[in-house]
Structure 1
Amino acid sequence: MAELSGTRTSLPRDAVWPVGHVAAELGVPAVTLRAWERRYGVGPSLRTDGRHRRYSTADVERLRRMIALQDAGMSAIDAARLSRRPPGAPASVDDLLNRLESYQLAEVDDVLAHLFDDRGAEPAWDEVIAPVFRELGRRAGRRPDCADLEVLLAAAVERAAQHHAQLEQAGDAVLLVPCPGEAHTAPLAILRAALIERGQSAIVLAPGGNDLSLLAAAQRVRPVSVVLWSMARHAGQAALRRRLEDEGHQVATAGPGWPRSARDLDDLHQAVTFLLTQHAR
């Protein structure tokens, strides 16, 4: 994927750009821009008196968003679809925290939706969502009256991730499994969204299953990999891993509920890279 040019031009709002100028501005070959117009409908919206096609400033900004989404690992077709949505104000940790604390739940949903669409699942998690969870965790250690905010954020994140990655990918799936007794599954929703952005099908099982139901689900899905997620250690989770492996499944463990010596995946980027590599074999 071509890199964006090192210096970004400040574009006049009424600028009209031929394809060569847009290609130079974005660091993308003109032939690529023409291909995107044919394949995805991402092209110039203006015409000159001589009927020549020209890009508006809004067209260029949309292309810029599309490139940024692809650089984050998203497929071109999904990046083109998401780039049609105008970006919201840049989301920050404080911005999301303030909306949570004031119970502006519709605005929380809107901030998260724009965050996923503008940045992609992995940057959204690393740059904003995970720091907010950490801050709420620190506060909960000092005073227990903010536990409701963690619950609200987890539910909002799962909704946003589900909506962002609502189209299932074809092909063999990765099965994302919360260990029995585990209720905190927002990280699995984020991992699913990040994998689907990269063309890898993934399924998150709902919390509340027991060993037998989880083993049966793995038999039905026949996944390329199983991720066992644990936020807090639960009795029997190591035995469940062994039973899955005994049935021939490729299993990776994730989450702080696994001791470091038994934990395979430590962060989102490592998990995405590992699972994509496993599927490519």
Structure 2
Amino acid sequence: MDEPTGDPGPPEPDTKETAAGGTGMTTGGLARRLGVSPTTLRSWDRRYGLGPAVRADGRHRRWTPQDVAVLEAMCRLTSAGVPPAEAARAAREAAAGTVTHERRAAPEVQNPPRPPAPQVASSAALPADDRPSGSGRRGQAAATLPLGDVRQECRGLARSAVRLDAPAVDSQLTSAVQRYGLAVAWEEVMVPTLHAVGRKWASSGDRYVEVEHMLSWHISTVLRRVTPVSRTGVPDSAPGPVVLACVPGEQHTLPLEALNAGLTEHGMPTRMFGAAVPAEALTAAVRRLGPAAVVLWAQARSTASLPLARHVAATQWGVRGARRHPMVVLGGPGWAGRSAQGMLRPPSLNEALSVLKARYESGVPVG
């Protein structure tokens, strides 16, 4: 996989004494903090006047905390889909308001005014990583993650994740669910960004591990936040809940969390057991709950056990003469290529929701 354009390169000290005796962040250090390239910072300086207040020895840039605050605002706005020129103007205006307030409190502090930002006639004049695209439409890769042809929301989410900007990540994930619904937000915003992080992690050694962990945690948080409480007071004649469990040895729970949220959103009761459920515990839960269906997730072929799936499908409950057993649904790439007669393998979240909803609403027992 290609390396991201404008990689910040070898580390350099984040701060250094300036000619005036203060300290300032270097361009490389600031680029790593924001998750953009030094080339992008120089472009924003040249095009929009978002340059550093201090240039040591007349050449080396040193970014003050005020400069950093302006650029953080710029990054948040562009991640939200605001065109760069408008984002720069808003970031400068917000900074100007802060500076005015500080000057009133301390009149002796004087800062030279920033030059006006040059106007950009069209997005075609921008570097590739600065070109805006329409909200909700598909655009090219963002920041340092190779996203490809994805929704614009992926672009902003990737930039915020690389910057480790937790508030922005949470806000963008919540907004995507509210705008598109859970299933579309999962399949077209969350999953492509997660895959991009995973590919970058695999190709860059241990880099971006922290990005993957933070993004996964926030996706899990948002999925649980939008998950309604399973309905209570279900009649005794209604089918049992849908049981969701990762097979033994499997730790990837996010797809199951998305399915759990979608099922409860549709009014179906669920029991989520999470990662690496022991076979004995899973069998005991099936006998106790009498579920309408059991979803078994396996991310890898090494964890996808057909004997376990067949054992769960054959697990029975009820009185003699009226025994029942669950419908088993296999989820995850680990089951690919496996012959699982009598078990379903829906290819997407929407398909899984449709299959399980139809099964639950039919109320037809599996004999």
Matched, 1:249 2:326: yes
Greater RCO (Cα-Cα under 8 Å, separation 6 or more): 1
Aligned residue in 2 for 1:148: 210
Task: Tell me, yes or no, if the aligned pair for 1:180 and 1:234 is still in contact at 8 Å.
Answer: no
- Secondary structure of the structure 2 residue equivalent to 1:116: helix
Alpha carbons 1:122, 1:194 under 8 Å: kept = yes
Write the distance in 1 (CA, Å) between the matches of 2:222 and 2:264.
14
2:288 alignment partner in structure 1: 220
Work out the CA distance in 2 between the residues paired with 1:163 and 1:236. Answer: 29
Answer yes or no: is the 8 Å Cα contact 1:91–1:115 preserved in 2: no
Task: Provide the aligned length of Structure 1 versus Structure 2.
Answer: 192
Taking structure 1 as reference, are residues 160 and 235 closer, same or farther at Cα in structure 2, changes over 3 Å only? closer
- The alpha-carbon distance between structure 1 residues 97 and 168, as it changes in their structure 2 partners (threshold 3 A), is same
Cα pair 2:182 2:262 within 8 Å, conserved: yes
Name which one, 1 or 2, has greater alpha-carbon Rg.
Answer: 2
SS in 2 for 1:266: coil
Alpha-carbon distance between aligned partners in 2 of 1:91 and 1:173, rounded to the nearest angstrom? 37
Within a 5 Å distance, the mapping from 1:197-212 to structure 2 comes to: 197-212=265-280
Match of 1:185 in 2: 253
Letter in 1 for 2:200: R
State yes or no: 1:136 paired with 2:230. Answer: no
Please name the residue that 2:174 is paired with: 113
Structure 1 residue 91: deviation in Å?
A: 6.8
The verdict on how the C-alpha distance between 1:236 and 1:188 changes in structure 2, with shifts beyond 3 A counting, is closer
Between the aligned partners of 2:304 and 2:195, the Cα distance in structure 1 is 27
The structure with the greater share of residues assigned to helix is 1
The residue aligned with 1:162 is 224
Which residue number in structure 2 is paired with residue 233 of structure 1? 301
In 1, are the aligned partners of 2:298 and 2:304 still within 8 Å (CA)? no
Q: 1:182 to 1:110 in 2, by over 3 A?
A: same
Unaligned runs of 5+ in 2: 1-150, 235-239, 316-324, 363-367
Q: What's 1:269 paired with?
A: 350
Cα gap change, 1:104 to 1:236, in 2 (>3 Å): closer
Which amino acid in structure 2 is aligned with residue 125 of structure 1?
W
Q: Distance in 1 between matches of 2:180 and 2:290?
A: 32
Deviations 1:121-153 (A, max 9, x none): 101112211111221232233213123322222
SS at match of 1:205: strand
Q: How far 1:236 sits from its partner (Å)?
A: 6.6
Work out the percentage of aligned pairs sharing the same amino acid.
Answer: 26
Task: Tell me the CA shift for residue 219 of structure 1.
Answer: 2.0
Q: d(CA) in 2 for partners of 1:220 and 1:153?
A: 35
Pairwise CA RMSD of aligned residues? 2.0
Offset of residue 113 of structure 1: 2.0
Deviation of 1:233 after TM superposition, in Å, equals 2.2
| Alpha-carbon shift at residue 166 of structure 1 (Å) | 3.5
CA displacement at 1:107 relative to structure 2: 2.2
1:208 positional shift: 3.3
1:39-78 equivalences in 2 (<5 Å)? none
- State the distance in 2 between where 1:214 and 1:253 align: 15
Deviates more, 1:254-263 or 1:225-234: 254-263
Deviates more, 1:154-163 or 1:260-269: 260-269
What's the TM-score, normalizing by structure 2?
Answer: 0.49
When residues 261 and 233 of structure 1 are mapped into structure 2, their CA distance, relative to the original with a 3 A threshold, is closer
Q: 2:188 aligns with which of 127, 134, 141?
A: 127
Distance 1:147 1:260 in 2: 30
Instruction: Write the deviation string for residues 170-193 of structure 1: whole angstroms up to 9, x where unpaired.
Output: 443211111111111111111111
**CA gap 1:235/1:110 in 2 versus in 1, 3 angstroms:** closer
Please tell me the residue identity of whatever aligns with 1:204.
Answer: M
Question: One-letter code of the match for 1:224?
Answer: A
Aligned to 1:278: 359
Distance 1:114 1:211 in 2: 38
Is contact 2:304-2:335 (8 Å) kept? no
Contact 1:228 1:253 in 2 (8 A): yes
Amino acid at match of 2:230: E
User: Judging changes above 3 Å, is the alpha-carbon distance between structure 1 residues 236 and 276 closer, same or farther for their aligned structure 2 residues?
Assistant: closer
